[in-house]
Structure 1
Amino acid sequence: MENVKILSYEAIELLKKLVETPSFSKEEDTTARIISDFFEGKNIPLQRKKNNIWAYNLHFDASKPTVLLNSHHDTVKPNKSWTLDPFKALIEDGKLYGLGSNDAGGCLVSLIVTFCHFYERDDLSYNLVIAATAEEEISGKEGLEIVVPELPEISFAIVGEPTEMHLAVAEKGLLVLDCAAKGKSGHAAREEGDNAIYKALKDINWISSYQFPKVSPTLGPVKMSVTIINSGTQHNVVPDLCTFTIDVRATDQYTLEEIIEGIQANIQSEVTARSIRLRPSSIPMEHPIVQAGLKLGRNAYGSPTTSDQALLDCHSLKMGPGHSGRSHSADEFIYLEEIEKGIAQYILMLEDVIGNKG
């Protein structure tokens, strides 16, 4: 695929510009402008809302189903262990170093040039929309969440995150629960009060040992972890309140509401969900885009991490060049070869599904 060489060059040049431009979550204005300039340089009309950019294929047809290609252009802040300049796109030994190069710059630029590859095709059986979105790293509310209402109904989506181009066919959702065990205060030296800490401990013991019965074939069991606990004001006062936080990694076997109900039914503490936005997601193994990847020898698996997939109410596949283990690490990098191979795989898989044989 000689065209992939050209697309890979364009992707890497765009990635270098993005890496050299700070784009912390909520501060992505300049990278949004860089992405806009890229599309405008190719005479591709685009739309922007806040720091989100999206565009449609030239021959968009409202009677056809639509595929969403999505990845994010915000980054975390560099940690103190960096030995290189995080905002210098250094290419060395076949690697491109820089903050956001792996998570998720390589995925984003690969999807952008893949979209460009199909942009002028008039024989597609699906429409294509590319969305470069903000605030993914903080699960923010002004990223993909505000773009989705602007889009037509999405048949399925490919979300670009570093998976070594393997197929993340399911992804755990995130549920954060704030719990409050209530007792009665009293003097610690006398038999007074009802210790809220002891009440909380009973609940925490249940949380640590309970297993939800339904286990996902791709994601495994629902996982609950108590991660924060607070109580007490001074050593000689029995506390009347103990608060704790549960981090719940949900699977596709339960709705978030079902998990909340199950927990509340078994503990005395009051349970309050911070949010039910970040839901588990999945795509059937028999879906054509999954089958297209399997035919190329890729593996299917369930991902324990959360991405913008959680904000999509459609079948979605998480897949992209790069390695998840490099994300948020010092001296982050992506292999140039990974980008080229990623573009080739995106094109082959989409051609299989949306091309004139789709």
Structure 2
Amino acid sequence: MIHTLFDESIALLQQLIATPSFSKEEAQTAAIIEKHLNGKGIKTERLLHNVWAFNKHFDASKPTILLNSHHDTVRPNGDYTKDPFTPEIADGKLYGLGSNDAGGCLVSLIAAFVFFYEQTDLKYNLCLAATAEEEISGHDGLERILPLLGKLDFAIVGEPTQLQLAIAERGLMVLDCRAHGKSGHAARGEGENAIYKALADIHWFNSYQFARVSELFGAVKMSVTMIQAGSQHNVVPSVCDFVVDVRVTEVYTNEELLELIQHFVSSEVKVRSTRLKPSSIDVNHPIVQAGIALGKTKYGSPTTSDQALLRIPSLKMGPGDSARSHTADEFIYLEEIQGGIADYINIIQQIV
């Protein structure tokens, strides 16, 4: 059965690659996933471009595992030498946009779900969710359907991790900061220069170390990434705007960090969103221990995924390599998908 699932997974992934599915434009790939599952007698639900299903013998008295990955992609960059929508197989690699991020994970999770779908003696229910808008952290992807999935106890999130165990993930806050001064004529030394006020806060963002340090990630990372001020050379600017990228670790909540930052800096600080929260799962959780028993290593992931939207324990794991994501001539090794199917099944079998 594993061999058949592998062949079907490659064929499905080739269809997905050949079908453009930029974030917010995933209707056709959602239809492909629906057709694939329905063709196996699996009843699906759909809202917008999100497709989900439960195992055949769902039992509300049992806990539920969410199996989630996404079918949207970024737009191909200008360095592609191959057609990003041609699913070419060469030298053991399947090329194409979304093959690595996160098509290989998605089709492997689908295969694992199909493997368990008809089983009657599972200790857990399984909920498969193929979702949209992950690449833009959109509101109409996983976040939109979570209330419809019922009680979920923990999740496996399919992202390329070389099939190792990402037991924590950084959160993200983007801060819009504004330093206020007073305009004046530069030649007469009038006014209060907002740029100088902003520089003091920028120095703080660059040098401050928060007290709590994550064992997995180290310190919280803050980076000033944009700055804008001034209208002409002889006018002291009254306003200086700058943007800060804050990568939050699991030892702080977004809200805690925001409160601390607003206390320490003089600039006005507005957060665009606190919804992309840091996440983690206890190393003693059964799913983590099952992975360790299979020889997997655990680590903290620096990248952000739909895991940030979950409020339940979650493990990020999948075939492929995060370093290939969003690169030109994206690819995944066929053997990685084969390993992904086997590992997802094996790790779930340890607990179900």
TM-score, normalised to structure 2's length? Answer: 0.99
1:283-327 deviations in whole A, cap 9, x for unaligned? Answer: 000011001111111110000000000000000000000011111
The answer for the alignment partner of 1:241 in structure 2 is 239
Give runs of aligned pairs for residues 272-351 of structure 1, distance below 5 A.
272-351=270-349
Correspondence list, 1:1-358, <5 A: 3-354=1-352
State the AA in 2 paired with 1:290.
V
Cα distance in 2, alignment partners of residues 143 and 182 from structure 1: 38
Moved over 3 A (4+): none
Unaligned 5+ segments in structure 1 are none
Aligned residues: CA RMSD: 0.6
Structure 2: tracts of 5 or more residues without a match: none
Distance in 1 between residues matched to 2:77 and 2:189, nearest whole Å = 50
Q: Give CA-to-partner distance per residue, 1:206-228, whole Å, 9 cap, x none.
A: 11000111111112211000000
Identity of aligned residues (%): 64
1:85 CA displacement: 0.8
Hey, what's the Cα distance between the residues in 1 that align with 2:269 and 2:256? Answer: 13
Give the superposition deviation at 1:191: 2.5
DSSP 3-state at the match of 2:187: coil
Q: Distance in 2 between matches of 1:134 and 1:285?
A: 29
* Separation in 1, partners of 2:140, 2:179: 34
Match of 1:265, SS?
helix
Structure 2: distance between partners of 1:129 and 1:191: 66
**Partner amino acid, structure 1, of 2:182:** K
The offset of 1:199, in angstroms, is 0.3
TM-score, structure 1 normalization: 0.98
